[in-house]
Structure 1
Amino acid sequence: MVASAAASSGREVGVVAGAGLSERRRMAIFFVMAVGQFMALLDIQIVASSMNAIQAGLSAAADEIDWLQTAYLMAEIVMIPLSAYLAQALSTRWMFVASAGLFTVASLMCGLAWDLQSMLLFRVVQGFVGGAMIPLVFATGFSFFDGPRRAMVTSVLGVISTLSPALGPAVGGWITDTESWRWLFLINVVPGALVTAGLVWLGPFDRAQPSLLPRIDWVHAASLAVFLGGLQYVLEEGPRHQWFADATIASVAWIAAVGAVVFFERCFFSHSPVVSLAPFRRKGFWAAGVLSFVTGVGLYTITYLTPVFLARVRDFPSHSIGLTTFVAGVFMTASAPVAAWTATKIDMRICMAIGLVLYALSFWMISAVGSDWGFWQLFWIQAVRGAGVLFCMVPSVSMALNNLPDAELKPASGLINLMRNLGGALGIALVNTGLQRYFAWHVQQLAQSLGRAPQDAMAAVAGLAQRLAIDMPSPDQAPMAARAAIGQMVAREALTGAFQDVFRLCAWVFIAALAAVPFCRGGSMMPDETQHHH
C-alpha cells in the first residue's frame, strides 16, 4: 500500500490538462475526442443485426459468429482501466491519437477481412483501442471545464454513451440492407482519420511522463487482462451454455478468479500499479461506483431487451425495431439540457434519485407488456426511460469525478466507466438467464392450465382446424396446423410472461439502488476551487 501511494504521488507531478488553452481550443479538442468515443461505442452493437450476413460472407459456423461481439467486449473492458496509466505515460493526446489511428486501421482491416479468424483479430484490436477512448473523454471534459459547462459536457457524453449502443443494431441493419456488411466497418475510416489528424493538429494539452513505461508492472497488467477478459467471457457465454455446467465456462471462471486475486494483490503492493484504486479512498466514490454499475444494468438491459422482445414476440423487421427504440433516444437528447441545468442548481443526490425513480417507473410500466404491444404502447414508456437516463448518468459520473485533482481524474474515469460496463455485462447475462428460466416456468403453467380443461383445449384446436381447413390443400393437414398454431401461441404468451417478470425484477433493482444515494458526496456541479486542479 505504501509503495502504491508513493507511485501515485509520483504521477501527480504538474500534469494539469488544458492549462493555458483558449476556450475555443478546449471545445474543439473535446468535440474531436467525443466523435472518437461515439465511433468506439457504436461499434459495440453495430454488428448485432447483421450476424447472418457476416456469417455467410466469412463462411463461419453459427456457433462461432457470436465471437464478433464477445471478442470486442473482452478487449474493450481490459483497456478501460488500463488507459489511465498509458495516458499518463504517453499523454492523453498521443494516447488518443494512437487509439483513434489504430481503431481506423483495424476498422479498415475488418472491412477487408478474408475469414473469421482475421475478422476476430481485427475486432480485438478495435475493442482494445476503442476502450481507451471512452474514459479519456470523460476525464478530459472534467479537466477542461467547470460548473455549467462541465454539466453540459457530461450530458453530451451521457447521450453518446447511451444512444450509440441503441443506434448500433438499427444503423448496422440499414447499412447491411443498402450496401454490404463490410461497410459496417469501412464507414469508420474517414471519421477515424479525421479524429486522428484533428487531434494532432490541435496540439498538446497535457504532458507525458514516459518514465512510467519502463516501470510498468507486467504481472499486474497480465492479471488485469485475465481477470476482466475472463469475467467478460463468462458473462457473455454463460447464459448460452448453462453457466458452470459447461466445462469451458467453469474453467475460464476459475482462471478469472485467480487473475482477480493477483490483480488486487498488485493494486495494493505493486511499486507501480497499472490501475490505481486511490479514488475509492475519497468520500462517496464507492457509492457513485455502485450507482454507475446500476445505471449500466438499466442502460444495457433495456437496450438489449426491447429489440429482442420486438423481434421474437412481435416479429418486427430491423427497421421497425430501430424506429420504435429510437423514441428513447429522442427524449434522452431532449432531456440533456434539463439534466445539465438541474445538476448545477440542486444537490446531485436529488438528481440521481429522480433518475432512479424514472428508470424504475419505466421498468414497472413495461412489466405490463402484452404480446400485441408495438410502437405506441411502448412510446411513453420509452419517453420516461429516455428522460431518466441522463438523470442517472450525469450525477453518477459527476459525483465520482467532480472536484477530483487532475492526477486522479483518469484513474477515476476508468474505474467509473468500468463499473458501468460491468453492470451492463452482468445485467444482460442475468436477464438472459432469467428469460430462459421464466419462459420454461410459464410454458409449464400454461400447459397445466390446458391440462386442467382438456375438453376446452380440444374444442379450441378443433375450431381452429375448421377455420384453417378452408385454405388447406388437404383437410387432413388442418389438425396438425392447428396444434402447431396453438403451440406458437403458448410459446409467445410464455415468452411475454418471461419478459414481464424480468422487467419487474429490473424495476426492483433501481428501487433498491436508492439506498446508495445518501452515501454519495452531495452538492451541485458548481466548481469547488479549493480542490479542483490541485
Structure 2
Amino acid sequence: MSSTTINQAPALPQNGQKVDLRTWIAVGAGMLGAFMAVLDIQITNASLKDILGSLSATQEEGSWISTAYLVAEIIVIPLTALLTRVFGARRYMMGTTALFLLFSTLCGAAWNLESMIVFRMAQGFTGGALIPMAFTLVMLKLPPSKRAAGMAIFGLTATLAPSMGPTLGGYLSEIYGWPSIFYINWVPGLLLIAGVAYGLDAEKTKWGDLLKTDWLGIGFMALGLGCLTIFLEEGNSKDWFDSGFIITFAALALTGLLGWIVTSATRANPFVNLALYGQRNFLVATALSAVFGMALYGSSFLLPLYLGQIAGYSPMQIGEVIMWAGLPQLFIMPFVAKLSGKVDNRILCSFGLLMFGVSCLMNAYMDATTGYDQLLASQVVRSLGQPFVMLTLSNFAMQGIAPKDMASASSLFNMTRNLGGSIGIALLATSLSQREHFHSQRLGEAVNSFAPAAQERIAALTQSFISKGYEAVMAGEQALKAIDGIVRRESYVMAYNDGFFIVSAILLACIPVLWMSDKVKSPGGGGGAH
C-alpha cells in the first residue's frame, strides 16, 4: 500500500501560482470543520451542570461525556490519512460531517447518561477527522506563497475554539437550553458540506487499500491512544495508581503504544508514518505542540473553574472573561502570518511562548477578589502570544515533509497537540487537589484556637452572628464554620495560583528547546520553509 495522502503522489501548487475562488472555498470549509470539532471538545463544560441534572447523573459520571468525545477523536486523527486515501478528500469530509451532524442531534436528544456517552463517542469519531483534514488541505491545495495565510486561519481554529467553547456554550444554554449547544452544529456543518462539494474534485474510491491496510497496527493504536486518554482523563478522580481501574488502563495504554511502534517499524507501508518523528524539526515541533496543547487546554480548564468556584461567576460571565483570550487573535494572526515570511520563526515562536508564559504568571497572583477587571490584562497578553506559537510550530512541523507524507504529518501533529491537552488537564487537576490539601494544612496550622489573630477573628464573627439573632453557642459554631470556609477558599486560590505558575514555568522552559530546530521562514516571504 502506498503511503500517499489525499492524492497519489500529489503535485503541489507552485510558488506564486494563483489560487482560484473554488480552492479558497474548499480550504475555508475545511477550517470551519476544524473549528467546529475543536469547539465541541469544551462546549459542554459550561453547561455540564444542566446536562447532568437533566440526565440524573453525578459529577463523576458526567466526566465521561467529555472523555468519550476525546477518546474517539484522538483515535480517528491518525486514521485520517488512510480514510482519505480510500474515500477521497471530498467524499470523506462530506460523509464524516453528515454523520457528525447526526450524532450531534442525537446528543441533544439523549435520554440518559449512557446514550449521551455513546453519542458523544460517535460524535468525536466523526468530527475528529476534520481537524487534520483542514491542515492537510492547506498544505496540498495552496502554493507556498499562500500557506502562511492558510496556516494563520488554521491557527485561529485551534486557539479560538477553546476560548469560544465555554463562552458559546454558556450563552446558548442560558438562553435556549443545553441541547442547543449540539443543534448549533448544523449551521457550520451544512456550510462545510456545501463548500467541500463545490471546492474539491471527486476522487475514485480505493477499496483495495482497506484490504492491504495494517489492521494490527490500527488495533494497537486504538488500544494505546484510547486507554491513554481514559487514563489521563479519569486518573485524578480515581486517585491514579491507587485504583485498579487506572492501573489496568495504564497497562493497556503502554501495551497498545508499544505494539503500534513495533508494527509501524516492521511494516513497509504503515497506515501512518511514525518515522516522521525521526526528523529533528518535526520532533521538536510536535513536542512543543504537545506543550502548547497542555497550556492552551490547561489554562482553559483552570480559569473557568476558578471563576465558577471562587468568584461565583455564571457560565455567561465566565465566557465574557475568557473571550478576551480569543477575540484579539482575529486581528493579530494576519500580522503574524506576514511576519513569519520575513523573520526567523524561532524568534517569533520564542516571543509567543514568552507572552503566553507571562500571561499565566500574571494569573499566578490571584486572590479571592480577582475578577473580570483584574483578569483582562492577562487574557489580552495571552491572546498576543498564542498566534505566534501556533503558526510557527505549524511551519516547523511541515518543513521538508514530502507530499506523500503530509497527511501523516498533519495527523501526528494534531494528535500530539490534543494529547498534550489531555496531559495538561490531568496534570493540573491533580496539582489542584494536592496543592489545595497542602495549603489547607499549612493555613490550618496557623489558624487555630491558640493563635491571637484567629481568636480575635472568631470573637468578632461570633459577635456578628449574635447581633443577627443567633444564640451564643450557635454563633460560636457559625463563626468556626465561617473561618473554615475562608481557609478552604484561600487554599483553593493558592492552588489555582500554583497551577498557573506550573504552566508558566513549562512554557518558558520550552524556549531553549525550540532553538534545537533549524531556522525556518514561511515561503511566502522568501524563506525556505517548505
TM-score range, shorter chain: over 0.9
The residue type paired with residue 424 of structure 1 is G
Distance 1:461 1:294, change over 3 A: same
Pairwise CA distance, 1:469: 2.4
Q: Determine the C-alpha separation between the residues in 2 that align with 1:331 and 1:203.
A: 32
Which residue of the partner structure matches residue 305 of structure 1? 302
With 373-382 and 472-481 compared, the bigger mean Cα shift is at: 472-481
Contact 1:301 1:428 in 2 (8 A): yes
Q: Determine the C-alpha separation between the residues in 1 that align with 2:32 and 2:402.
A: 26
Q: Does 1:8 align with 2:7?
A: no
The residue type paired with residue 139 of structure 2 is F
The residue type paired with residue 424 of structure 2 is G
For the residue of structure 1 that corresponds to 2:401, the secondary structure is: coil
Q: Determine the C-alpha separation between the residues in 2 that align with 1:289 and 1:349.
A: 14
Which of the residues 118, 135, 138 maps onto 2:135? 138
Distance 1:497 1:48, change over 3 A: same
Which of the residues 48, 52, 57 maps onto 1:60? 57
Pairwise CA distance, 1:329: 1.1
Distance 1:224 1:472, change over 3 A: farther
Distance 1:215 1:21, change over 3 A: farther
Which residue of the partner structure matches residue 511 of structure 1? 508
1:380-418 CA-partner distances (Å, limit 9, x unpaired):
111111100011101111110145322111100111111
Distance 1:456 1:529, change over 3 A: closer
Which residue of the partner structure matches residue 401 of structure 1? 398
The residue type paired with residue 257 of structure 2 is A
Which residue of the partner structure matches residue 109 of structure 1? 106
Q: Determine the C-alpha separation between the residues in 2 that align with 1:147 and 1:343.
A: 12
Pairwise CA distance, 1:170: 2.2
Q: Does 1:464 align with 2:446?
A: no
Pairwise CA distance, 1:82: 1.3
Contact 1:16 1:206 in 2 (8 A): no
Which of the residues 508, 517, 520 maps onto 2:517? 520
Which residue of the partner structure matches residue 498 of structure 1? 495
Pairwise CA distance, 1:220: 1.0
Which residue of the partner structure matches residue 315 of structure 2? 318
Distance 1:61 1:490, change over 3 A: closer
Which of the residues 95, 100, 103 maps onto 1:98? 95
Q: Determine the C-alpha separation between the residues in 2 that align with 1:132 and 1:314.
A: 37
Q: Does 1:426 align with 2:445?
A: no
The residue type paired with residue 167 of structure 1 is M
Pairwise CA distance, 1:440: 0.8
Task: Give the superposed CA RMSD.
Answer: 2.3
Q: Determine the C-alpha separation between the residues in 2 that align with 1:531 and 1:436.
A: 44
The residue type paired with residue 11 of structure 2 is V
Q: Does 1:331 align with 2:331?
A: no
Pairwise CA distance, 1:452: 8.6
Q: Does 1:41 align with 2:33?
A: no
Q: Does 1:391 align with 2:388?
A: yes
Which residue of the partner structure matches residue 234 of structure 1? 231
For the residue of structure 1 that corresponds to 2:326, the secondary structure is: helix
Which of the residues 277, 281, 288 maps onto 1:280? 277
Q: Does 1:264 align with 2:261?
A: yes
For the residue of structure 2 that corresponds to 1:523, the secondary structure is: coil
Q: Determine the C-alpha separation between the residues in 2 that align with 1:426 and 1:472.
A: 51
Which of the residues 84, 93, 100 maps onto 1:87? 84
Distance 1:531 1:502, change over 3 A: closer
Q: Determine the C-alpha separation between the residues in 1 that align with 2:384 and 2:403.
A: 31
The runs of 5 or more residues in structure 2 that have no matched partner are none
Q: Does 1:196 align with 2:193?
A: yes
Contact 1:148 1:341 in 2 (8 A): no
The residue type paired with residue 514 of structure 2 is V
Which residue of the partner structure matches residue 358 of structure 1? 355
Q: Determine the C-alpha separation between the residues in 2 that align with 1:446 and 1:336.
A: 44
Pairwise CA distance, 1:441: 0.9
Distance 1:229 1:378, change over 3 A: same
Which residue of the partner structure matches residue 217 of structure 2? 220
The residue type paired with residue 177 of structure 2 is S
The residue type paired with residue 98 of structure 1 is G
Distance 1:391 1:132, change over 3 A: same
Distance 1:94 1:392, change over 3 A: same
Q: Normalized against structure 2, the TM-score is what?
A: 0.94
Which of the residues 234, 245, 248 maps onto 1:248? 245
Distance 1:208 1:281, change over 3 A: farther
Q: Determine the C-alpha separation between the residues in 1 that align with 2:486 and 2:527.
A: 63
Distance 1:312 1:214, change over 3 A: same
Q: Does 1:344 align with 2:341?
A: yes
Which residue of the partner structure matches residue 3 of structure 1? none
Q: Determine the C-alpha separation between the residues in 2 that align with 1:200 and 1:8.
A: 25
Distance 1:330 1:61, change over 3 A: closer
Contact 1:234 1:252 in 2 (8 A): yes
With 351-360 and 53-62 compared, the bigger mean Cα shift is at: 53-62
The runs of 5 or more residues in structure 1 that have no matched partner are 1-5
Distance 1:494 1:270, change over 3 A: same
Contact 1:38 1:160 in 2 (8 A): yes
Distance 1:85 1:531, change over 3 A: farther
For the residue of structure 2 that corresponds to 1:66, the secondary structure is: helix
With 271-280 and 26-35 compared, the bigger mean Cα shift is at: 271-280
Q: Determine the C-alpha separation between the residues in 1 that align with 2:130 and 2:310.
A: 37
The residue type paired with residue 10 of structure 2 is V
Over the matched positions of the two proteins, sequence identity in percent amounts to 31
Distance 1:288 1:130, change over 3 A: same
Pairwise CA distance, 1:484: 1.4
Q: Does 1:165 align with 2:131?
A: no
The residue type paired with residue 88 of structure 1 is R
Contact 1:17 1:206 in 2 (8 A): no
Which residue of the partner structure matches residue 31 of structure 1? 28
Distance 1:259 1:503, change over 3 A: same
